[in-house]
Amino acid sequence: MSRYKITALMALFTFAFGLTLVGEAVAGEKLKFRAVWYNVKFEPYNVPGEEGRMVFVFEDRGIMTTLRGTKIFDGMAAVDVGFGDLDKTGTGFGQGTAECTDHDGDKIYLTWEAKVSNGAWSGPGTIVRGTGKFEGLKGKATHGPSVRVGPNQIYTEWEGELERPR
């Protein structure tokens, strides 16, 4: 094999290896962000025959802030709607969906599930999809504990990874 062919083959190999490294870096961006929520709707329903147990639906509005990693959620306004089921000890579960909107109007949609213990919510979440510049965005994260910090105010942290389209 000629020196020219070996050099070309090595250049091709190096290029392909470099693309693999770049692709992996884009596919698994680590991030940590927080949401500060203000509860705007809360509709509880007592469960018949079970004293102290309620199911409820809610709507929260909030702002997202980056704590570490990619700044993708920084300054996004968000709406979170969900439901929960709690007993009189503050134990139960919930789930919901959040729509996060940046200053250009592009959106990221998150779904979440939570177990609730002593009023603190935590569990897995999924970055389902995005619109505009976030088209094709996906990811996984965990949240919590989400805690009440004042009247109608909730604080939670999220930590996970983003996958951007290649």
Q: 118-136, pLDDT tens digit by residue?
A: 888 999 999 999 999 999 9
Band of the pLDDT at 164, cuts 50, 70, 90?
confident
Total-model pTM: 0.79
Residue 43: which H helix or E strand, with range? strand 29-46
109, two tokens:
């949609």
- CB proximity list for 112: less than 8 A, separation 6 or greater: 82, 95, 96, 97, 98, 123, 124, 125, 126, 143
- CATH code of the region 30-163: 2.40.350.10
The yes-or-no verdict on residue 74 having pLDDT over 60 is yes
Q: Please provide the average confidence, as pLDDT, over all residues in the chain.
A: 84
Band of the pLDDT at 27, cuts 50, 70, 90? low
What is the rounded CA–CA span in Å between residue 21 and residue 9? Answer: 19
Mean pLDDT of 82-110: 96
For the chain, give every domain's residue range: 30-163
Q: Is 20 helix (H, G, I), strand (E, B) or coil?
A: helix
Question: Which element (helix H / strand E) includes 69?
Answer: strand 54-69
pLDDT at 161: 94
pLDDT band at 16 (very low <50, low <70, confident <90, very high): very low
pLDDT reading at 115 higher than 70: yes
Question: Does position 8 have pLDDT exceeding 90, yes or no?
Answer: no
